[in-house]
């Protein structure tokens, strides 16, 4: 008789299956995919009602125990989990507590109740309102400010507004594209009990926020039976003069007192939200000049981008946290038991408006680079013949052609090794738009 626990992973792909099988206690688990990975990774169209229905039917047809339902993706996976878990009686946080993190307007209002000094000025607005810019000003926000959808995915449809012209250009794009996320997000909102002032601000709305910035980082954590635990801080470092990420680095290089304050803020806000028995991460800025901390946003999942970093430095991917919590166990996350003192995920980018990829590095070239730099993983994000503008989940300024995970003894070695590797990644393009 097979006594292994059945764990269902929404959007399970081979990359994550391999990692999951390396976790502590994995020999006691059977991992099953729910919803094909292509439906959550390689698309910007999310028929979420249909996805929930198909997932429900697949799980109901399973001949065995359903011990856990998990996922590692942002929308739509994150918002599907509370609905599925409630239906099948498995563990995760409530839909309302999750939405207090993911619905950006609701989240800011809740944050303001307990950590008002650590969040920017904000207001919600309707991008289909021709007087939106005036209403933003009436709310006390003036150019420059940042605009993003109430529910965003990655860095899509986020804009730095520095003039009325850039605002109206952003509005054009928002009106054309916001429905891709707003419509399915509104389907999720229909499952929740919302206060009237939140129900009035649906997925088609946007946020305008005071410009904040500084040294960006992410606090990875979880809540287990009401106790908020932070177990690692990862730095997010950008290319000079632009908003695009250059690499994520772990452990953080922030001063200890800044890290301690972020952990305290995390404990306060997640406890106030009532989030429980699930993983999360919170993105912060430290404005070094003013010595001021800002909370940027709360994500209701671990960061997949950080899995390899924790594995290299601490000895196991922090998917361990998600699985343990879903099974009702206190997470068994080691510390500093990995092969490297430091690790990073690099984004190999081009700053074109658009282009057609005519060549990507071959499998042999990639294998040679991974062998030359032990511990390195390279994941191409494009293929020959692809137009860059077809790539999903890109920021507004560049295209990520490859992800490169590396470990090293220190920061200098990490950067030097990446520069040597990046110089040998051969991509070629045609029809380049600068």
- Dmax of the chain from CA atoms? 67
Predicted pLDDT at 154: 64
Predicted pLDDT at 42: 67
Predicted pLDDT at 269: 98
Global confidence as pTM: 0.93
3 state SS of 395? coil
Rounded CA-CA distance 434/420 in Å is 25
Strand partners, 217: 235, 284
Distance of CA 425 to the CA centre of its chain: 26
3 state SS of 366? helix
Predicted pLDDT at 434: 64
3 state SS of 164? helix
Rounded CA-CA distance 103/194 in Å is 11
Cα–Cα nearest to 229, from 279, 299, 272, 296: 279
Torsion, CA 221, CA 71, CA 298, CA 271, rounded to 10: -50
Predicted pLDDT at 242: 80
The beta-strand segments (E) located in 47-188 are: 68-70, 122-125, 145-149, 159-161
Interhelix angle 77-88/95-102, nearest 10 degrees? 170
Rg of the chain over CA atoms, in angstroms? 21
Distance of CA 313 to the CA centre of its chain: 20
Whether omega before 423 lies within 30 degrees of 0, making that bond cis, reads no
User: Structural domains in the chain?
Assistant: 5-95 (3.40.50), 121-210 (3.30.1490), 215-433 (3.30.470.20)
Using alpha carbons, list the distances in angstroms from residue 4 to 27, 31, 319, 352. Answer: 8, 10, 18, 49
Neighbours of 314 (CB within 10 A): 21
Tell me the pLDDT of the chain (434 aa) as tens digits: 689 999 999 999 998 899 999 999 999 999 999 999 988 876 777 889 999 999 999 999 999 999 999 998 888 899 999 999 999 999 999 999 999 999 999 999 999 999 999 999 999 999 999 999 999 999 999 999 999 999 987 667 889 999 999 999 999 999 999 998 899 999 999 999 999 999 999 999 999 999 999 999 999 999 999 999 999 999 999 988 787 899 999 999 999 999 999 999 999 999 999 999 999 999 999 999 999 999 999 999 999 999 999 999 999 999 999 999 999 999 989 999 999 999 999 999 999 889 999 999 999 999 999 999 999 999 999 999 999 999 987 877 799 999 999 999 999 999 999 999 999 999 999 988 86
Predicted pLDDT at 243: 78
The structure tokens listed for 161 are: 């507004």
Predicted pLDDT at 46: 83
Residue with tokens 């994550």: 16
What pairing do the DSSP bridges indicate for beta strands 428-433 and 354-359?
antiparallel
Predicted pLDDT at 340: 98
Predicted pLDDT at 25: 93
Which residues, other chains included, contact 203 with Cβ-Cβ below 8 Å and sequence gap of 6+?
Answer: 149, 150, 151, 178, 181, 182, 183, 184, 185, 186, 189
Q: Convert the pLDDT of each residue in 296-343 to its tens digit.
A: 999 999 999 999 999 999 999 999 999 999 999 999 899 999 999 999
Rounded CA-CA distance 29/218 in Å is 29
Predicted pLDDT at 20: 95
DSSP string, 270-326: HHHHT--SEEEEEEEEEETTTTEEEEEEEESS--GGGHHHHHHHHSS-THHHHHHHH
Predicted pLDDT at 387: 95
Q: What angle do CA 191, 194, 199 make, to 5 degrees?
A: 100
Cα–Cα nearest to 73, from 358, 387, 302: 302
Phi, psi of 289 (to 5 degrees): -65, -45
Residue with tokens 């946020």: 207
Cα–Cα nearest to 124, from 134, 114, 139, 110: 139
Predicted pLDDT at 431: 85
The beta-strand segments (E) located in 61-186 are: 68-70, 122-125, 145-149, 159-161
Predicted pLDDT at 26: 95
Strand partners, 405: 345, 377
The structure tokens listed for 303 are: 């960061």
């Amino acid at each position: 008789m097979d006594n292994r626990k059945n764990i269902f992973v929404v959007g399970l792909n081979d990359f994550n299956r391999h990692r999951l099988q390396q976790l502590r206690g994995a020999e006691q688990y059977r991992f099953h995919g729910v919803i094909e990975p292509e439906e959550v990774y390689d698309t910007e169209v999310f028929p979420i009602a249909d996805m929930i229905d198909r997932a429900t039917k697949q799980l109901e047809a399973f001949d065995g125990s359903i011990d856990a339902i998990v996922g590692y993706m942002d929308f739509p996976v994150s918002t599907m989990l509370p609905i599925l878990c409630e239906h099948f009686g498995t563990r995760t946080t409530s839909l309302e507590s999750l939405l207090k993190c993911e619905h950006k307007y609701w989240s800011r209002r809740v944050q303001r109740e307990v950590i008002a000094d650590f969040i920017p000025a904000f207001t919600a607005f309707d991008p289909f309102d021709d007087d939106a810019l005036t209403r933003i000003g009436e709310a006390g926000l003036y150019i420059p400010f940042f605009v993003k959808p109430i529910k965003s995915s990655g860095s899509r449809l986020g804009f730095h507004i520095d003039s009325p012209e850039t605002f109206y250009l952003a509005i054009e794009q928002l009106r054309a594209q916001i429905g891709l996320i707003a419509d399915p997000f509104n389907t999720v909102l229909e499952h929740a009990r919302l206060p009237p002032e939140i129900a009035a601000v649906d997925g088609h709305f946007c946020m305008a926020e005071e410009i904040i910035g500084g040294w960006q980082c992410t606090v990875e954590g979880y809540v287990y039976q009401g106790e908020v635990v932070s177990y690692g801080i990862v730095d997010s470092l950008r290319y000079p003069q632009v908003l695009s990420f250059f690499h994520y680095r772990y452990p953080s290089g922030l001063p200890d007192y800044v890290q301690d304050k972020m952990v305290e803020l995390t404990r306060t806000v997640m406890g106030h939200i009532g989030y429980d028995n699930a993983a999360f991460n919170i993105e912060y800025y430290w404005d070094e000049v003013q010595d001021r901390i800002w909370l940027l946003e709360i994500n209701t999942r671990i960061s997949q981008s950080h899995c390899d970093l924790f594995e290299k430095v601490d000895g196991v991917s922090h998917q361990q946290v998600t699985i343990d919590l879903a099974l009702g166990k206190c997470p068994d996350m080691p510390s500093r038991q990995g092969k490297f003192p430091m690790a990073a995920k690099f984004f190999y980018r081009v700053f074109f408006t658009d282009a057609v990829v005519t060549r990507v590095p071959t499998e042999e070239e990639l294998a040679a680079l991974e062998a030359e730099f032990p511990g390195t993983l390279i994941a191409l994000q494009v293929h020959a013949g692809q137009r860059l503008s077809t790539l999903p989940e890109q920021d507004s300024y560049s295209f990520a052609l490859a992800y490169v995970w590396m470990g090293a003894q220190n920061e200098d070695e990490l950067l030097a090794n990446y520069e040597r590797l990046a110089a040998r990644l051969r991509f070629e393009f045609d029809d380049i738009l600068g």
